[in-house]
Amino acid sequence: MPSLLRILTRPETRRPGPPPLAVDLRKVLLAGIACWVVATVVVGVLVALDVKELTALWVCLSGLALGGLGLLWARGKR
């Protein structure tokens, strides 16, 4: 077994990494968007009750927008 110093100085002596897993990004992105929807509803109620500021709602809406962009990007990668 090679020493740590040898592995760090000569990366070619390492064993090859495993191949990347085939993951359906659409499912991952939809799960993230679902979390942002729940957060948006909760924060929306808190903003309506004057417990939170409007900034928190904008953060949730930004998360939804980025998730939507991620879905468009994942669609193009298929």
Q: What is the pLDDT of residue 1?
A: 66
In a domain, 10, yes or no: no
CA 24, chain centre distance (Å): 13
pLDDT, one tens digit per residue, over 3-40 is 888 878 887 777 788 898 888 999 999 999 999 999 99
Which structure tokens are listed for 50? 């004057």
Model confidence, pTM: 0.73
In a domain, 2, yes or no: no
Q: Which domain holds residue 44?
A: 23-77
Q: What is the pLDDT of residue 7?
A: 77
Torsion, CA 31, CA 37, CA 39, CA 41, rounded to 10: -150
In a domain, 18, yes or no: no
Which structure tokens are listed for 46? 């808190």
Which structure tokens are listed for 59? 């953060």
**How would you label 41-52 residue by residue, b for 16+ Cβ within 10 Å and e otherwise?**
eebeeebeeeee
- How many domains is the chain built from? 1
In a domain, 63, yes or no: yes
In a domain, 65, yes or no: yes
